[in-house]
Chain A
Amino acid sequence: ELKVEQNPLFLSMQEGKNYTIYCNYSTTSDRLYWYRQDPGKSLESLFVLLSNGAVKQEGRLMASLDTKARLSTLHITAAVHDLSATYFCAVVNSNSGYALNFGKGTSLLVTP
Chain B
Amino acid sequence: GAVVSQHPSWVICKSGTSVKIECRSLDFQATTMFWYRQFPKQSLMLMATSNEGSKATYEQGVEKDKFLINHASLTLSTLTVTSAHPEDSSFYICSASGQNRNEQYFGPGTRLTVT
Residue positions of A touching B, CB distance < 8 A: 31, 33, 35, 40-43, 45, 48, 50, 88, 90, 93, 96-105
Q: How far is the CA of A90 from the CA of B95 in the complex (A)?
A: 13
A12: min CB distance to chain B, Å: 16
Contact with A along B83-96 (1 / 0, CB 8 A): 00000000001010
Q: Collect the chain B residues with CB atoms within 8 Å of residue A99's CB.
A: 34, 46, 49
A88 touches B101 (CB 8 A): no
B106 touches A42 (CB 8 A): yes
Q: How far is the CA of A105 from the CA of B39 in the complex (A)?
A: 13
Q: Give 15 A-B contacts (CB < 8 Å), ordered by A residue.
A: A33-B104, A42-B108, A43-B106, A88-B44, A90-B44, A93-B46, A96-B46, A96-B59, A97-B51, A98-B32, A98-B101, A100-B34, A100-B95, A100-B104, A105-B42
With A31-B102, A43-B44 given, can you name 8 additional A-B contacts, CB distance below 8 Å? A45-B105, A90-B44, A97-B34, A101-B46, A102-B43, A102-B44, A104-B43, A105-B43
Q: Collect the chain B residues with CB atoms within 8 Å of residue A33's CB.
A: 104
Residue positions of B touching A, CB distance < 8 A: 32, 34, 42-46, 49, 51, 57, 59, 93, 95, 97, 101-109, 111
Most interface-central of A33, A42, A48, A93 (chain B CB within 10 A): A42
Known: A96-B59, A99-B34. A104 touches B101 (CB 8 A): no
Q: How far is the CA of A91 from the CA of B69 in the complex (A)?
A: 24
A97 touches B49 (CB 8 A): yes
B57: min CB distance to chain A, Å: 7
Q: How far is the CA of A42 from the CA of B93 in the complex (A)?
A: 7
Q: Collect the chain B residues with CB atoms within 8 Å of residue A42's CB.
A: 93, 106-109
B92: min CB distance to chain A, Å: 10
Chain A to chain B: the 5 pairs with minimum beta-carbon distance, closest first? A97-B49, A42-B109, A43-B106, A102-B43, A42-B108
B32 touches A43 (CB 8 A): no
